[in-house]
Amino acid sequence: MIELQGLTKTYAGKNVVEDVSMTLETGEFGVLIGPSGCGKSTTLKMINRLVPLSSGRIILNGDDVTELPAEQLRRRIGYAIQSTGLFPHWSVARNIATVPQLLKWSKSRIDDRVDELMAMFHLDPAEFRHKYPHQLSGGQAQRVGVARALAADPEVLLMDEPFGAVDPITREALQAEMRRVHGQTGKTIVFVTHDMDEALQLATRIALLNNGRLVQYDRPIEMMVKPADDFVREFFGQADLGLKLLSRRWVHQYQRPPSLTHHATLPGLDHCWRLDEAGRPIVLEGARLDDQHQHTDVRSEWIATPEMSMKEALSRMVWYRVMVLPVVDETGKLVGEVGMQGIMGIESNGGLHAGGPAS
């Protein structure tokens, strides 16, 4: 558990970070986010005192570490940065062993720990132990950087935009890996990013900063559903946040009973399903923008399943120009339908990670 109490940083008479207080329980994944210059990185660096505090206190697992010598404090806190900061003249194994060596662990204990961490990050020790940083790909170097930060089993792990400089595909892989490692180790993590996607992928808590102040600190879904003010609403409303939300929602949350007779009055929405003897949908009558009375053979490309994400379902509706998709179970039997109306008409419920297949 880490508590920040009234952290303030003053440069030349101006508060770049002002009175930031937050508590992160053990095992939480806290993400600091905000526009550039909002003080998120400064706040992070105040935790390990790379930036000295102007005022405020830091409590680590109940100990007040504000007055502890900076080097001692830093050896209890892992630190990973965007440029990896790997030492180019040291092998991968020696890089990972940096903090254990500073703490004067025995050689065998260090070797075991290095192997353990390399296994955790899927780096084959036989292949990578003796490689040098310049021989690694961007993703591998970043994994080594995070492994190094975790080497001495720190109480908290600080990460300063660690995946900001790698290509999008590698970034997604690293994020997935970070979620897994977080789950495996149960580490308390403080993570800085400016990428909302990344924050939503990883965070159990999000702290939104603006102009050096903490605007809102909450669970991700609460931030979206109950924004504290217009700034939060606008910040989360950037870009395709609506679609992002749908990518964390599942068809079964939006599904309704299938319409088997014509009764709707709205143009384009009046439709009904024709089934075969086994209860599988074979023809859709109506619900096509081009000709609402047309009968369309149901195509396997636009059949939805309860586990499908709503983003994917929406994408199929748009691509195949149908207003409603059939939802079938494993045997292909029609169990429901999901349509354009449903996407707009339902209240947000459940967390971002709730429901759906575990990813």
Partner 1 sequence: MALPERRRWVGNRVLATLLIAAVASVVLLPFASLSPNRLVSGQPVMLWQALAGWQLAAFALIGLLLLVAALAGPLPRRLALWLSLGATLPLLALDLQALGAYAHGALADASPAARVSQGATFWILLFASALIAIDALQRLRLGPAGRALYGVAALAVIGVCFSGELLSPLSIMREFANQRDNFIDQLVRHLLLVGGALLPALLVGLPLGLLANRRARLRNGLFSVLNVFQTLPSIAVFGLLIAPLSALGRAVPWLGELGVSGIGVAPAIIALVLYSLLPIVRNTYSGLAGVSTGALEAARGMGMTPRQILWRVEIPLALPVILSGLRIVTVQAIGLVVVAALIGAGGFGTFIFQGLGQYAIDLVLLGAIPTIVLAVIADFALQILVSLSRPSGTR
Binding residues for partner 1, rule: CB under 8 A, are: 48, 50, 70-75, 79, 81-91, 98-99, 102, 131-135, 145, 148-149, 158
> CB of residue 75 vs partner 1: minimum separation in angstroms?
4
> CB of residue 207 vs partner 1: minimum separation in angstroms?
20
> CB of residue 342 vs partner 1: minimum separation in angstroms?
49
> CB of residue 203 vs partner 1: minimum separation in angstroms?
22
Distance CA 160, CA 158 (A): 7
**Complex with partner 1: residue 107 or 299, whichever CB lies closer:** 107
Distance CA 99, CA 121 (A): 18
**Complex with partner 1: residue 128 or 273, whichever CB lies closer:** 128
Mention every residue, 6+ apart, whose C-beta is less than 8 A from residue 187: 27, 78, 150, 154, 156, 157, 181
> How wide is the angle at C-alpha 54 spanned by C-alphas 48 and 56, nearest 5°?
70
**Complex with partner 1: residue 81 or 324, whichever CB lies closer:** 81
Instruction: Please say whether the dihedral angle defined by the alpha carbons of residues 238, 240, 244 and 250, taken in this order, is positive or negative.
Output: positive
CA distances (Å), origin 69, targets 25, 52, 76, 80: 24, 12, 11, 20
**Residue 69 has which token pair?**
């010598």
> CB of residue 35 vs partner 1: minimum separation in angstroms?
23
> CB of residue 88 vs partner 1: minimum separation in angstroms?
5
> CB of residue 119 vs partner 1: minimum separation in angstroms?
22
CB atoms within 10 A of CB 134: 8
**Complex with partner 1: residue 87 or 320, whichever CB lies closer:** 87
Residue 41: what residue type? Answer: S
**Complex with partner 1: residue 137 or 294, whichever CB lies closer:** 137
**Complex with partner 1: residue 153 or 234, whichever CB lies closer:** 153
Give the gyration radius of the chain's Cα atoms. 25
**Complex with partner 1: residue 39 or 133, whichever CB lies closer:** 133
CA distances (Å), origin 276, targets 84, 189, 287, 308, 333: 59, 54, 19, 24, 9
**CB of 308 within 8 A of CB of 355?**
no
> CB of residue 256 vs partner 1: minimum separation in angstroms?
53
**Residue 9 has which token pair?**
């940083």
Per DSSP, helices labelled H in the chain are 40-47, 70-75, 92-96, 98-102, 107-120, 125-128, 138-150, 168-185, 196-202, 220-225, 230-236, 241-247, 251-254, 310-320, 340-345
**Complex with partner 1: residue 98 or 185, whichever CB lies closer:** 98
> CB of residue 137 vs partner 1: minimum separation in angstroms?
15
CA distances (Å), origin 355, targets 181, 202, 234: 21, 16, 27
**Complex with partner 1: residue 49 or 252, whichever CB lies closer:** 49
Greatest Cα pair distance in the chain = 79
